[in-house]
A and B are shown apart, each in its own frame.
Chain A
Amino acid sequence: MSEDLAIQLNMVTKEYTRNSMRIPVLENLDLDVCRGEFLALMGPSGSGKTTLLNLIAGLDRATSGDVIVDGLNLSNLSEAQMTKWRADHIGFIFQMYNLIPVMTAQENVELPLLLQPVSRRERRRRATTALKIVGLEGREDHYPRQLSGGQEQRVAIARAIVTDPALIVADEPTGDLDRTSAQEILELLESLHRDLEKTIVMVTHDPQAAARASRLLQLDKGKLVGDEMQTAPIRPGSVVA
């Protein structure tokens, strides 16, 4: 595997079994994603986008084939190893933000750092920096219920980047936001890709969101039906100073 490859999928198949019936979701998928790419996954419902994302993020296992992320074949990892690997290498952004409602923004962002061997002071410092990157400076002590949807998603993004993961996976990160908030979140993801050189894999239904990515993959019935490189628009006023 080339050192420039962040993700490599070789003949990946994923099937579910329901009532003894095999339901293929992904079929013999091959894919190479370079480091620092911003990949958008599009396709109709049931095309296998989220399943592919889950396989790349180590949340699920392929029925056959190899899923290699950062040079590591995930198929060879035990459940516990996979969990530890996720904690160290993956940042998650969900459609519904999925913040812990009883924790402040700062504490939510600190959550993944509880699994790292860092001091409390260092946790605090890193979380504050992450919140600053997403433009939520001064909102550290706010609870999720005190934030707008867009701000909640920014906290979720801060949580995703606080451990400085190589790969960020986002499942419809703008799906629950109004147009303005969605634009802000997409600009933020764009700047993470551009300024922090993060590899991002994003599932979306929104063509405008997909247009922000550097590469667009089209999935249909578990197969790749489109793969095009895009020139992501560079916008002024990057959130990363």
Chain B
Amino acid sequence: MKYLGYIFRNVRRNILRTILTIGSIGISLFLMMLMLSFLSINATVSETLKGSNRLISMSSQGFAVPLPIRFVEECKAIPGVEHASPLAWFGGSFKEEKMPFAQFGVDADTFSEILYDRKVPAEQLKAFQDDPAGCVIGYKMAAERGLKIGDPLPLKGAIYPIDLDLTVRAIYECKPTEDGRALYYHWKLMEELLKSKNQGRMAGNAGVVYLRLADDANEAEICRKIDAMSLNSQNPTRTMTEDAFVSQFAEMWGDMRTMITAVGFAVVVSLIFVSGNAMAMALRERTTEIAVLKAIGFTNGRILGMVLSECVIVAAIGGLVGALGCKLLFDVVDVSTYTAGGLPFFFVPWRTAMFGLGVSLVIGFVSGLFPAISAARLGVIQGLRKVV
């Protein structure tokens, strides 16, 4: 500890070089955090959904292929299933907005039972349930578009040849790791409109089926039962837990994950060279000083420790700027605002930020190793010869 003052003075000795080194580490780690977060965000969200007791049953061909609505009732009949609801994507556009936000047709009566983590005040929930053209919207969506209870919310159909003239009846709150911009409306409304517009062939689709299980239900067993039930039908299903459903989005990255990992590794290696070169330059300028320290009694181990500490401190500051800075920035800045809803939420998970900080420490340690060993091995006479 008593050498920390000297170490910090050395860090500040050539402030421009230190800032540039910190900057290169910080910026590179910032970008690395972005890449890693894109990869890990689904896994992190998936972790938070574990134990939610929810299943999602979708067509075995993928969630873009809708399941028939009768399937909801068939699922309800399975022991252990407490609630089931259609979850049908509408994909309409609001006013002049180009990017559709998430719009799902649900069973209004079971909405709050299944999506119990969307917190809706009781009177608002009742108002939604009582109004066939009512909808529930997320708090972020309400805030960004200035919507309040009772406001009209027209959606122009893009996939379906119908428009939904909805009224905001409820606003839900949710955790930051969940989508605060979704909209839920009565599935029956869409169904009736499709039928009234003679679009019967598009009616009767549940989208995917959202299920809430009893607390003591065996998730794997129920998934098997549901899929077995539809195995020989026209619509075979693939049923999974909600966290597994989210995880599969992470798997979609496929080879991109390997590529990003390889790029990240290359960045780390190049940072080691950058930081190592800066440290080697700094130490070359201090050859005599190190020799003097050794002459007055600083051991090789102390010199090694001080030089390594200096390297690790510089790299750790870069890590704090890049990794934790990235984390804090995206905790404050809502990316979805700038992506027109294309990215409903983005955050840097703590685990990823801590990993970034750890990487910076490794960069500092590895890059400092060679200069530190050179400094520790420096002969006193050799070092002093420059001036003696």
Which one of B8-16, B197-205, B346-354 is at the interface? Answer: B8-16
Which one of B19-27, B106-114, B226-234, B295-303 is at the interface? Answer: B295-303
Which one of B31-39, B41-49, B83-91, B286-294 is at the interface? Answer: B286-294
Which B residues lie within 8 Å of A94 (CB)? 292, 384, 387-388
Contacts A100-B289, A103-B6 given; indicate if A83 touches B387 (C-beta within 8 A): no
- Chain A nearest CB from B327 CB (Å) reads 33
Name the contact of A95 in the complex, choosing from B9, B294, B388 (C-beta under 8 A): B388
Residue of A nearest to B12 (CB): A102
- A66 within 8 Å of B by Cβ? no
B9 touches A103 (CB 8 A): yes
A114 touches B3 (CB 8 A): yes
Q: Which of B289, B294, B296, B299 has the most CB of A within 10 A?
A: B296
Main secondary structure of the interface of B (DSSP, over half): helix
Contacts A83-B297, A92-B296, A102-B10 given; indicate if A120 touches B2 (C-beta within 8 A): yes
- Chain B nearest CB from A61 CB (Å) reads 10
Residue of B nearest to A172 (CB): B388
Contact with B along A107-142 (1 / 0, CB 8 A): 100011011000010000000000000000000000
Contact with B along A85-111 (1 / 0, CB 8 A): 011100010111010111100010001
B9 touches A102 (CB 8 A): yes
- B62 within 8 Å of A by Cβ? no
Which A residues lie within 8 Å of B9 (CB)? 102-103
Name the contact of A87 in the complex, choosing from B297, B380, B384, B388 (C-beta under 8 A): B297
- B5 within 8 Å of A by Cβ? yes
- Chain A nearest CB from B309 CB (Å) reads 14
- A59 within 8 Å of B by Cβ? yes
- A28 within 8 Å of B by Cβ? no
- Chain B nearest CB from A155 CB (Å) reads 13
Which A residues lie within 8 Å of B6 (CB)? 100, 102-103, 107
The docked-state distance in angstroms from the alpha carbon of A111 to that of B2 is 10
The docked-state distance in angstroms from the alpha carbon of A142 to that of B3 is 20
Which B residues lie within 8 Å of A92 (CB)? 292, 295-296
Contacts A94-B384, A94-B387, A120-B2 given; indicate if A59 touches B299 (C-beta within 8 A): no
- Chain B nearest CB from A139 CB (Å) reads 19
- B158 within 8 Å of A by Cβ? no
- Chain A nearest CB from B293 CB (Å) reads 8
The docked-state distance in angstroms from the alpha carbon of A115 to that of B3 is 10
- Chain A nearest CB from B160 CB (Å) reads 71
A88 touches B297 (CB 8 A): yes
The docked-state distance in angstroms from the alpha carbon of A54 to that of B379 is 12
The docked-state distance in angstroms from the alpha carbon of A84 to that of B301 is 12
Which B residues lie within 8 Å of A171 (CB)? 388
The docked-state distance in angstroms from the alpha carbon of A222 to that of B2 is 42
Contact with A along B262-292 (1 / 0, CB 8 A): 0000000000000000000000000011001
- A50 within 8 Å of B by Cβ? yes
A54 touches B381 (CB 8 A): yes
Interfacial residues of chain A within 38-66, with CB under 8 A of chain B in the complex: 50, 54, 57, 59-60
B288 touches A98 (CB 8 A): yes
Contacts A102-B13, A114-B2 given; indicate if A84 touches B288 (C-beta within 8 A): no
Residue of B nearest to A79 (CB): B300
A83 touches B294 (CB 8 A): yes
Contacts A102-B9, A120-B2 given; indicate if A86 touches B387 (C-beta within 8 A): no
Contact with B along A157-178 (1 / 0, CB 8 A): 0010000000000011000000
Residue of B nearest to A98 (CB): B292
- A80 within 8 Å of B by Cβ? yes
Contacts A54-B381, A98-B289, A102-B12 given; indicate if A112 touches B387 (C-beta within 8 A): no
The docked-state distance in angstroms from the alpha carbon of A36 to that of B298 is 27
Which A residues lie within 8 Å of B387 (CB)? 94-96, 98
The docked-state distance in angstroms from the alpha carbon of A79 to that of B384 is 17
Which A residues lie within 8 Å of B13 (CB)? 101-102
Residue of A nearest to B380 (CB): A59
Which A residues lie within 8 Å of B295 (CB)? 57, 59, 86, 92
- Chain A nearest CB from B303 CB (Å) reads 10
Name the contact of A84 in the complex, choosing from B3, B297, B381 (C-beta under 8 A): B297
Which B residues lie within 8 Å of A84 (CB)? 297, 299
The docked-state distance in angstroms from the alpha carbon of A115 to that of B297 is 7
Interfacial residues of chain B within 84-131, with CB under 8 A of chain A in the complex: none
- Chain B nearest CB from A212 CB (Å) reads 21
Interfacial residues of chain B within 49-93, with CB under 8 A of chain A in the complex: none
**Given A54-B381, A98-B384, 6 other A-B residues pairs in contact with their CB atoms under 8 A:** A60-B380, A87-B298, A92-B292, A92-B296, A102-B9, A103-B6
Q: List 24 A-B contacts (CB under 8 A).
A: A50-B388, A54-B381, A57-B295, A59-B295, A80-B300, A83-B299, A84-B299, A88-B297, A92-B292, A94-B292, A94-B388, A96-B387, A98-B288, A98-B289, A101-B13, A102-B9, A102-B10, A102-B13, A107-B6, A114-B2, A114-B3, A115-B296, A120-B2, A159-B296
Q: Which 6 A-B pairs have the closest CB atoms?
A: A87-B297, A102-B9, A96-B387, A98-B292, A115-B297, A112-B296
A residues neighboring B (CB under 8 Å)? 50, 54, 57, 59-60, 79-80, 83-84, 86-88, 92, 94-96, 98, 100-103, 107, 111-112, 114-115, 120, 159, 171-172
B residues neighboring A (CB under 8 Å)? 2-3, 5-6, 9-10, 12-13, 288-289, 292-300, 380-381, 384, 387-388
